[in-house]
Structure 1
């Protein structure tokens, strides 16, 4: 079956569920700093994510989805414009708005500084023209009264003074556990506002984008979400001896056990995992509240649902913390797409987040702007392991480095021409850099050419004047 016929079939099945006068709806949910490997549907046995896992059972789950930007701002700009670097043309939400959909932003879709924009309830780098309406969800973040921990400084207190917050160097190691039901938290507020919008706009086509800020630091949640994850039972990632010896300097995370005091506190590294799990579970419950209301209103029968994260995260793998590097824990992201009437399943076909935009426009039968660089993944709903792409491209900011993830390998190259190469079948945790192994010289040569071709075809097809994006998070 050719691609055009397949897309027509999916579009017909989707639209046949609707009345002739009703366009399909889109519910677009983004988590922040959520690594794929922490979700039950991606194999985690510890973290409790029943709502996302339930959605996965009803969706096409992408096992090899990769972000193009490896920090919040570039990634969100990338998938909202379907561009590898920077912005150009009409963004995803604005395109739907221009074609007759009500569009709403709730919370963080384009980049916001967390915690600054959350505390202040401000718009961050939002693009106002994208939305019919937009809503911010504020919270006190690290200043929430409760048990505060700054784990790399080994500080534990319930006092509100001297807490690490906006622009402060240790803010990424902060958690707060407190007594409450969570209704004061930004993600709870975002879920509540989304529920209100679903009720208000249920009778007309909508594109509602809900951006949840957890598990992005600070890891703030009511104490009952920490209880299932006692730090004493946390097992830290395995780090082989001399693991960093074959990783180039530009391939290393900015924050590591070797250059930050978190490396001194093994118990506190476990507490970082406990806090991350707690906020993932809290975020999952907000996803569940939204999806339950969608179903209660009878909207699930004519609404496509997209769930994703902007990028992954390191919690001590290789001794790395946070993001902004090209290793699998950062570049691989959760992605699932629910289409009513279309059979669920999983795909191992390589996909990029830039592919979401053209997939949705094709699904809804509207023109895809010529500036869009992604490829539609709609054929995967019929042929789960059809090859859409031979590799996924990810980019460090300011040209510092690039990677391609193929079916079997990951290849990274940095601006000083240092390299990493991994056999992802034999070495999925990326412990053994093969770039200097003579047995892999031909493979290395091939992957170099493959990366060069991708950069020539896509990443450099950018206008001379391009909007810069903030990378501070």
Structure 2
């Protein structure tokens, strides 16, 4: 009875004093690690699409710190996830693409969930955390795989592979992401005697954009706004960049078949569906016994183009492919309703979590703890963000510029203060020579050879 009474008093104290941090509560932070697939900056807190409906992500943004200039280490699922979860950059591992299994070349890597397990945490994964084709069994003491979502009888758009979008006549409960969230909710409702690390991965808005009709209805075709573009945008882009964009592939198909508005509608619908499922998970945490002592890390694994630079999907070094949604909440530590304009990278997640949770410093991790920015989003920071796509192709993003250097030596440079759409390549202008030289200092010092490839896992 006395023990039960103590627990009730403890829970009441947490409710009354939400500002208490983990130290004051004499307990380590728990971690809720939320990964979202193919979600770009179109969500509410990042302002990429006017009228987007993401109320749950908006609510999380007001609770924690929004990193407006956050970028992935690689604009593809496998290398992005493998690098942030191991702390090893693509340029250090050679894992540059989706068809390169990461574990064979990183045999001794200790992933984030492995490190938390080794340091006494209860660890569980659900949904897409690693790239589907190369999930790492060694990382998960407990793991709930991704259930398949319903699809139409045939691909309505008849595009390339699964490049497709359509409402499906099902309920939210029928979707794979809904079932993944159920698993996360069940975990949060359980009693845990140890601090926990719970990773929940969402598939939508990854292609194909099949979600229930009600989400399409929220974005009537007559109201759809296309991304800002200009004619001949690739004219001043080096051949290496044009080759990546593949304007004669997806973009030509979209334009010729008059699918641009419908594709945007499908993407928006899929984002809002994902937001609803994220909301269910966050609500469950809020109602649980762990609400006041759980760090929330929310991120997209890379960006996504919808016609900008005549390009679709990720797989590029421009802003839309590499910028990611990134929000962090640390109870009693992070600034409420905080917004940071500092350039950060998903590689920063590993060292940030180990510092927040007071774990031993993990040696060899390539990233910088953003704990100072959680406390003061405007704190001094001198870490340009690096994104890599393929051997020897890198982009360096400072708060003002994006500098791209391809493996053939060709370059792009954009001034985001005057050209946020990256329409004018300044790399050939001699007056920017010192700018390029300064940004080039952040390029990786090594370019590991390509890791072996397999037929699976390309998308």
Partners of 2:309 and 2:416 in 1: how far apart? 16
Which of 92, 110, 125 is the equivalent residue of 2:112? 92
Structure 1 residues 435 and 329: alpha-carbon distance in aligned structure 2, compared to 1, 3 A threshold: same
Give 2:435's match in structure 1, choosing from 430, 443, 448. 443
1:432 is aligned to: 424
Distance 1:446 1:58 in 2: 36
Residue 25 (str. 1) matches residue 11 (str. 2): no
Aligned 8 A contact 2:328 2:374 in 1: no
Deviation at 1:210, TM superposition (A): 0.5
Unaligned runs of 5+ in 2: 1-18, 94-105
Cα deviations by residue, 1:352-381 (Å, 9 ceiling, x for unpaired): 111111111011111122121111110112
Q: For residues 67-92 of structure 1, what are the alpha-carbon distances to aligned partners after superposition, in whole Å with 9 as ceiling and x for unaligned?
A: 11110000000100111123453111
Distance 1:222 1:382, change over 3 A: same
> Secondary structure of the equivalent of 1:243?
coil
Q: Does 1:59 align with 2:64?
A: yes
Q: Is the 8 A contact 1:74 1:471 kept in 2?
A: no
Contact 1:89 1:371 in 2 (8 A): no
Shift of 1:148: 4.6
CA contact (8 A) 2:113 2:139 kept: yes
Do 2:31 and 2:294's aligned partners in 1 also have CA atoms closer than 8 Å?
Answer: yes
Corresponding position of 2:268 = 277
- Structure-1 residue corresponding to 2:381: 388
Among 166, 171, 176, the residue aligned to 1:186: 176
Counterpart-to-counterpart distance in 1, 2:378 and 2:29: 26
- Give 1:443 deviation, angstroms: 2.3
Q: Which residue of 1 aligns with 2:204?
A: 214
Deviates more, 1:249-258 or 1:332-341: 249-258
Q: Are 2:22 and 2:332, in contact at CA under 8 Å, matched by a contact in 1?
A: no
Distance across 2 between alignment mates of 1:392 and 1:134: 32
Which of 402, 420, 424 is residue 394 of structure 2 equivalent to? 402
TM-score, length-scaled by structure 2: 0.86
Write the distance in 1 (CA, Å) between the matches of 2:217 and 2:451. 47
Match of 1:15 among 11, 22, 26: 22
Cα–Cα, structure 1 residues 149 and 254, in superposed 2: closer, same or farther, change >3 Å?
farther
Q: 1:378–1:140: structure 2 CA closer, same or farther, 3 Å change rule?
A: closer
Q: Does 1:264 align with 2:255?
A: yes
- Which range is displaced more, 128-137 or 311-320? 128-137
Query: What does residue 287 of structure 2 align with?
Result: 296
1:312 and 2:317 aligned: no
Q: Distance in 2 between matches of 1:79 and 1:245?
A: 34
* CA distance in 2 between partners of 1:352 and 1:385 (Å): 16
The structure 2 residue matched to 1:41, chosen from 28, 32, 45, is 45
Size of the alignment, in residue pairs?
A: 421
Cα deviation, 1:227-273, whole Å, max 9, x if unaligned, reads 01122321212322221100112213646443344243474111111
Q: Does 1:242 align with 2:232?
A: yes
Matches within 5 A, 1:327-406: 327-342=318-333, 343-344=335-336, 345-399=338-392, 401-406=393-398
TM-score (norm 1): 0.84
Shift of 1:447: 2.9
Kindly indicate whether residue 79 of structure 2 is the aligned counterpart of residue 74 of structure 1.
Answer: yes
CA distance in 1 between partners of 2:419 and 2:182 (Å): 43
Q: Extract unaligned runs of 5+ from structure 1.
A: 1-11, 113-123, 153-169
Q: Is the 2:245–2:316 Cα contact (8 Å) retained in structure 1?
A: no
How far apart in 2 are the matches of 1:151 and 1:306? 37
Q: Please report how far the alpha carbon of residue 397 of structure 1 lies from its aligned counterpart in structure 2 after TM superposition.
A: 2.1
On the 8 A contact 1:323/1:330 being kept in 2, the answer is: yes
Q: Does the Cα contact within 8 Å between 1:312 and 1:332 map onto a contact in 2? A: yes
1:93–1:130 CA contact under 8 A, matched in 2? yes
Instruction: Please state how far the C-alpha of 1:48 moved relative to its aligned partner.
Output: 0.7
Match of 1:286 in 2: 277
Q: CA deviation at 1:465?
A: 11
The change in CA–CA distance for 1:254 and 1:201 in structure 2 (over 3 A counts) is farther
Distance change >3 Å, CA 75–CA 277, structure 1 → 2: same
Task: For 1:102 and 1:24, locate their aligned partners in 2 and report how far apart those are by CA, in whole Å.
Answer: 12
| Structure 2 CA distance for aligned equivalents of residues 425 and 465 of structure 1 | 35
